[in-house]
Amino acid sequence: MHDKYGREITYLRLSVTELCNLRCRYCMPEDGVCKKRHDEMLTREEMIMAVRAAAALGIRKLRITGGEPLVKAGIVDLCREAAAVEGIQEVCLTTNATLLPKLAAPLREAGVNRLNISLDTLDAEKYRYITRLGELEEAMKGLEAALSCGYEKIKINTVLIGGFNDDEIPALAELTRRYPVDVRFIELMPMYDSGDFGPEAFIPYTAVTERLPELSPVPADGGVAKLYRLPGAQGNVGLISPVSAHFCTECNRIRLTADGKLKPCLHSSDEISLKGLDFDGMLETMRSAILAKPHWHGELSYRERSRANRNMNQIGG
Ligand code: SAM
Ligand code: SF4
């Protein structure tokens, strides 16, 4: 269906858990999340019912995210059930990759078409710093496992952080020559409690084109990234600019959090609860949420932080 600004909403991002095995500094606090009561969270049945309601309203693409979706018990079966919902044409999953050595093959078999893998640095020490708990080697093993499982597309997501990984722009982009993957640089978003990054950390996507003059533009693929390619590369370099050049006029998505809140806009505090509703209730609530989608998320900058009032692990990115 279309929202009141004429945008066709075809994409649902479903967060299946707030929990994570890492603690990325821009995403969640060091001491993790205050674990909510089980009965506050959507059950697996409710999640699938919500996907069915979304599909009935014209959603065709589903992204499973979190928290870290791969720490959720039963994630493979959840993906299988979601992929089988009539009308859902594509199931994508966003992950930090550390659990992919075990799960890449079963997830592909369950019907996940595409993977986005988050990777902010190729330096083991810096990886430990930014994730607080992670080992680069595990993420790289996860990437290798995914590459061997026949996914239709694998994209690497890198949060661009001035003073942290801007010196690695060439090395990270080089992954598009080494592997058949896209590497997408995403501007750091100033979330509710996303660490103590100073203004210098919030650098615009143009830092990438400045560092890599050999990039040539390629046509967009319908997503929000501006696409480029290095000579001889197997995949694209994508630039995503939620802060310096928002793409709200093209926004085709709604989000559902693990505690059952529909978010018509990532950076708004507006939330509509689906928890406890039956299918018809979910359908009508989702319809209202789509109609309530604002035309843009308002100014975002180091000073003007997101109005979402949640950290990214509680939304799903
Ligand atoms: N745990 C999974 C992962 O890391 O891929 C999925 C959930 S994570 C919240 C989804 C995406 O949001 C990741 O690519 C992460 O880098 C990104 N993200 C989290 N906080 C962010 C922030 N403040 N600015 C930009 N991207 C952010
Ligand atoms: Fe976990 Fe992903 Fe957030 Fe990192 S970005 S803390 S891996 S949810």
Q: What is the pLDDT of residues 139-155, one digit of tens each?
A: 999 999 999 999 999 99
- Residue 66 confidence (pLDDT) above 80: yes
Compute the Cα dihedral for 316, 299, 156, 149 and give only its sign.
positive
Question: Does 236 score more than 90 pLDDT?
Answer: yes
User: Residue 137 is encoded by which pair of tokens?
Assistant: 């080697």
Question: Please, which pLDDT band fits residue 36 given cuts at 50, 70 and 90?
Answer: confident
Which of 158, 161, 312 maximizes ligand 2 atoms within 8 Å of its Cβ, making it the mutation to test the pocket? 312
Q: Is 27 in the pocket of ligand 2 (CB under 6 A)?
A: yes
Q: Annotate 190-225 with b (16+ C-beta within 10 A) or e (fewer).
A: bbeebbebeeebbbbbebbbeeeeebeeeeeeebbb
Higher per-residue pLDDT: 31 or 256: 256
Structure tokens at 82: 């979601």
- In this structure, what token pair is assigned to residue 272? 């509509």
Ligand 1 centroid distance, CA of 192 (Å): 14
- CA 176 to ligand 1 center in whole angstroms: 20
Can you tell me the distance from the alpha carbon of 267 to that of 243, in angstroms, rounded to the nearest whole number?
11
Q: By alpha-carbon position, which residue is closest to atom 4 of ligand 2?
A: 24
Residues 260-317: pLDDT tens digits?
999 998 888 889 999 999 999 999 999 999 998 888 766 777 767 777 778 889 888 8
pLDDT for 298: 66
Q: Which amino acid is at 240?
A: I
Residue 11 has pLDDT above 90, yes or no: yes
Q: State yes or no: pLDDT of 195 exceeds 80.
A: no
Provide the pLDDT for residue 160. 97
Q: How far apart are alpha carbons 106 and 95 in whole angstroms?
A: 15
User: Is a pLDDT exceeding 70 seen at residue 259?
Assistant: yes
What the block records as the tokens of 308 is 């979402």
In words, the CATH class of domain 11-314 is alpha beta
CA proximity to 97, closest of 20, 168, 187, 25:
20
Domain positions in the chain: 11-314
CA dist., res. 79 & res. 85, Å (int) = 10
Substitution candidate for ligand 2 out of 15, 16, 17, 24 with most atoms within 8 A of CB: 24
Mutate to test the pocket of ligand 2, among 118, 130, 193 (most ligand atoms within 8 A of CB): 118
Predicted local confidence at residue 193, as pLDDT: 66
Task: State residue 268's pLDDT score.
Answer: 84
Residue 83 CA to residue 110 CA, distance in Å, equals: 8
> Looking at residue 285, what is its pLDDT?
96
What's phi and psi for 217, nearest 5 deg? Answer: -65, 145
Residue with tokens 């890198």: 158
